[in-house]
């Protein structure tokens, strides 16, 4: 059993993916070739924003947004304590200070009530200037942008949507990667829409910001390649990855997103009463980067993971350590307040195999084993 079966996906899409790769090879336009611009247009149209700018990976997509906003020393950026390291790492790389915010246990996403507390704490201290909220669409579920936008507007903060896991999700009729003032996603292979290497993109409606992002991603270029008007970075999406993504994006829209939601629904129906299953608020739609259950305590979680491993069933703990507990952030820690929900989740979450090609038999095998514990 595969945790996320990329081999099966390739077998299904092999003819079209092979043709796309061969087309790129024959074109010799390996960097920023025609498929890159075509992909950007398709992605922007799907998400419902004016501009999509691809880049080398999801981490640099977040970095591009912070550079566009000139975030740096003395700035406070609020970020969930329960997330992948990159969500906070990019803040520090720009010289700003991450402020870790607790999450809601039911959705795993940033807590608006704790965010208000952390903003107040930073303002009371008076050393940092609050600038940005990074909201992470964890495990495929969009954060609560309805309430987040109210908080952001009240405190005059920008929202950076980290949609690395959220692409394909939505709230009402609005799709993930359109909720932020700038939104970012990742095309890492295991993401809901993944390529065969690294890749990422930023989304926005502001043309001036888009122009800056395009400059930053290619060494700070100005009117042409050798006119460098600012210090930038080398963060272009390879044409080969764009060609692969165009094929996979078609499958994603046509059936993969629907099929993975069917798989998640089967898990939930079979596991209710045995473990704590994921909560999808009314009006929200999840793209299921992960299907994450909760156990009563660390001992139960670790015990279940060991039993699954014995039976050849892969599972993962996302994430075992809070951001404030990372060695790299020992000087920041929880100085602006503790995050008890995050601490509890790190000890109780477990992600199960899920992907658009998972069979009912595999789901039954996993659920039957869990229900017997």
Give 37-95 pLDDT, tens digit per residue: 999 999 999 999 999 999 999 999 999 999 999 999 999 999 999 999 999 999 999 99
Give 194-252 pLDDT, tens digit per residue: 999 999 999 999 999 999 999 999 999 998 889 999 999 999 999 999 999 999 999 99
- For the 253-371 domain, the top CATH level (class) is alpha beta
Per-residue pLDDT at 120 exceeds 90: yes
Q: What is the pTM of this model?
A: 0.97
Q: Which contiguous run of DSSP H or E holds residue 98?
A: strand 97-101
Dig out the tokens for 233 from the structure. 């970075």
Which residues lie below 8 Å from residue 133, measured CB to CB, with a gap of 6+?
77, 78, 79, 110, 115, 148, 151, 152, 157, 158, 159, 160
* 157-161-166 Cα angle (round to 5): 160
**pLDDT of res. 333:** 79
Phi-psi region of 118 (alpha: psi -120 to 50; beta: other; left: phi over 0): alpha
What CATH architecture is 6-101+108-247?
A: 3-Layer(aba) Sandwich (3.40)
pLDDT grade for 259, boundaries at 50, 70 and 90: very high
Given a contact cutoff of 8 angstroms between Cβ atoms, the answer to whether 362 and 1 are in contact is yes
pLDDT-above-90 percentage for the chain: 97
* Residue boundaries of the structural domains of the chain: 6-101+108-247, 253-371
Phi, psi (deg, nearest 5) at residue 182: -135, 140
Q: How far apart are the C-alpha atoms of 205 and 354, rounded to whole Å?
A: 33
**pLDDT of res. 211:** 97
Given a contact cutoff of 8 angstroms between Cβ atoms, the answer to whether 95 and 72 are in contact is yes
- Alpha carbon separation from 72 to 91, 129, 159, 191, 234 (Å, rounded): 8, 10, 16, 29, 20
**pLDDT of res. 136:** 98
Mean pLDDT of the 164-183 span: 98
Least Cα distance to 92 among 325, 331, 318, 322 occurs for 331
**pLDDT of res. 224:** 86
What letter does residue 323 receive in the DSSP assignment? Answer: G
pLDDT grade for 174, boundaries at 50, 70 and 90: very high
Mean pLDDT of the chain: 97
Give 129-173 pLDDT, tens digit per residue: 999 999 999 999 999 999 999 999 999 999 999 999 999 999 999
Instruction: Count how many residues are written for the chain.
Output: 373
On the 0-12 / 13-18 / 19+ scale of CB atoms within 10 A, 227 is exposed
Give 299-351 pLDDT, tens digit per residue: 999 999 999 999 999 999 999 999 999 999 998 878 899 999 999 999 999 99
């Amino acid at each position: 059993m595969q945790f996320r079966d990329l081999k099966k996906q390739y077998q299904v899409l092999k003819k079209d993916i092979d043709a796309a790769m061969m087309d790129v090879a024959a074109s010799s336009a390996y960097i920023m070739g025609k498929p890159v611009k075509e992909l950007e247009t398709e992605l922007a149209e799907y998400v419902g924003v004016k501009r999509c700018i691809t880049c080398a990976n999801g981490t640099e997509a977040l970095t591009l947004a912070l550079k566009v906003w000139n975030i740096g020393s003395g700035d406070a950026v609020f970020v969930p304590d329960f997330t992948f390291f990159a969500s906070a790492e990019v803040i520090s790389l720009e010289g700003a200070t991450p402020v870790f915010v607790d999450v809601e246990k039911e959705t795993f996403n940033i807590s608006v009530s704790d965010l208000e507390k952390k903003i107040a704490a930073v303002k009371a201290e008076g050393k940092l200037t609050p600038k940005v909220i990074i909201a992470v669409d964890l495990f495929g579920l969009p954060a609560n942008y309805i309430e987040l936008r109210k908080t952001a507007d009240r405190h005059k903060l920008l929202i950076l949507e980290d949609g690395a896991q959220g692409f394909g999700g939505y709230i009402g009729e609005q799709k993930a990667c359109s909720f932020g003032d700038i939104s970012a996603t990742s095309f890492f292979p295991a993401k809901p829409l993944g390529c065969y290497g690294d890749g990422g993109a930023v989304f926005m409606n502001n043309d001036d910001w888009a122009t800056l992002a395009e400059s930053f991603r290619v060494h700070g270029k100005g009117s042409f390649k050798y006119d460098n008007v600012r210090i930038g970075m080398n963060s272009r999406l390879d044409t080969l990855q764009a060609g692969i993504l165009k094929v996979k994006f078609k499958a994603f829209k046509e059936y993969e997103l629907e099929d993975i939601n069917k798989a998640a629904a089967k898990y939930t129906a079979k596991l209710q009463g045995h473990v704590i299953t994921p909560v999808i608020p009314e009006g929200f739609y999840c793209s299921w980067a992960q299907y994450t259950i909760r156990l009563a305590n660390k001992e139960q979680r670790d015990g279940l993971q060991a039993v699954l491993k014995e039976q050849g069933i892969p599972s993962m703990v996302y994430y075992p350590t809070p951001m404030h507990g990372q060695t790299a952030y020992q000087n920041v820690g929880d100085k602006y307040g503790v995050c008890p929900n995050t601490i509890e989740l790190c000890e109780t979450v477990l992600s199960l195999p899920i992907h658009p090609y998972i069979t009912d038999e595999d789901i039954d095998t996993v659920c039957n084993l869990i229900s017997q514990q």
